[in-house]
């Protein structure tokens, strides 16, 4: 947990995973969690534009202070996991998170 | 009563970490004004794609957003290299972005088609060596 303890009562049902923000912007619809190995400001910006409320950084990526600051302003919860993308997605899927409607 | 507002943003071409600040500001202003979340998102996504394009393909530029009761108009103007073949550029998957842009999470060739998808009207005027102006409209 990097930031957002006070927002832990929020409920999420759907997630998406990608390192490409281009794809998140083009293919994601109404998902509330983003799993990504991309650790830069644009990951937070993309989440902001898409109304994503939680980002899980995979492969042990840890956001810097500027990213945390932006996430704080936009109330986006930040988590970091040592798992790789596939395993991190699998763990959340097992707990009931889904991908949402298929594309098209 | 004021029924329209124009916002102007200077987008820097040298600082990728700051790309998206203009779109972010517009998003929060629209939200504050009580525009529906669906419309806010349409504007935010299309403007952000355009702003990112400006930064990665055209060394920055100027964005003007006009908010009126029935529509939101976005005009993104740059003095970059221009787009040689607009029809090709509009195709999903077409990108000239170099590898270092891909490692920053962009360059899948999805931006322009996505802007088209989320707006009601879109027009690109471009001239090689002079620049590109992208105009987008979202009806409220
Ligand atoms: N403002 C611009 N100035 C010059 N060329 C541009 C501009 N905008 C887009 N292009 C050209 O059009 C191509 C397609 O743009 P598009 O936004 O669809 O994809 P991308 O930016 O390469 O990748 P993505 O948007 O998926 O991250 C770009 O690769 C670039 O060659
Ligand atoms: Mg683009």
In chain A, domain spans: 5-94
Per the structure, the complete domain to which residue B130 belongs is given by 5-139
Rounded distance, CA B118 to CA B50, Å?
12
- Which residues in chain A are contacts of B50 at CB distance < 8 A? none
CATH top class, domain A5-94: alpha beta
Q: Is the ipTM of this complex over 0.90?
A: yes
- Which CATH number fits the domain that encloses residue B104? 3.30.565.10
- Choose the residue to mutate in A20, A21, A22 for probing ligand 1, maximizing ligand atoms within 8 Å of C-beta: A22
The whole-number pLDDT of residue A104 equals 61
Its pTM stands at 0.96
C-beta of residue A57 within 8 angstroms of C-beta of residue A1: no
CA of B92 from ligand 1 middle (Å) equals 10
Give mean pLDDT, residues B21-49. Answer: 96
Number of domain units in chain B? 1
Largest CA distance in chain A: 38
């Amino acid at each position: 947990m990097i930031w957002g303890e006070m927002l832990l009562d929020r409920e999420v049902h759907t997630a998406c995973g990608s390192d490409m923000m281009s794809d998140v912007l083009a293919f994601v619809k109404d998902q509330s969690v983003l799993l990504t190995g991309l650790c830069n400001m644009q990951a937070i910006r993309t989440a902001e534009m898409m109304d994503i409320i939680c980002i899980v950084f995979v492969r042990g990526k840890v956001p810097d202070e500027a990213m945390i600051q932006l996430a704080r302003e936009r109330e986006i919860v930040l988590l970091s996991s040592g798992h790789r993308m596939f395993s991190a997605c699998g763990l959340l899927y097992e707990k009931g998170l889904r991908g949402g409607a298929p594309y098209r | 009563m004021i029924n329209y507002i124009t916002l102007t943003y200077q987008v820097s071409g040298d600082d990728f970490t700051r790309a998206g600040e203009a779109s972010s500001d517009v998003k929060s202003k629209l939200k504050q004004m009580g525009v529906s979340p669906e419309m806010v998102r349409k504007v935010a996504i299309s403007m952000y794609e355009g702003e990112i394009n400006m930064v990665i393909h055209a060394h920055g530029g100027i964005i003007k957003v006009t908010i009126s009761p029935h529509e939101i108009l976005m005009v993104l103007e740059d003095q970059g290299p221009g787009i040689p073949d607009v029809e090709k550029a509009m195709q999903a998957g077409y990108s000239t972005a170099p590898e270092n842009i891909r490692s920053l999470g962009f360059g899948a060739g999805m931006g322009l088609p996505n802007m088209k998808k989320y707006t009601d009207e879109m027009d690109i005027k471009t001239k090689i060596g002079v620049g590109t102006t992208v105009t987008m409209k979202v009806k409220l």
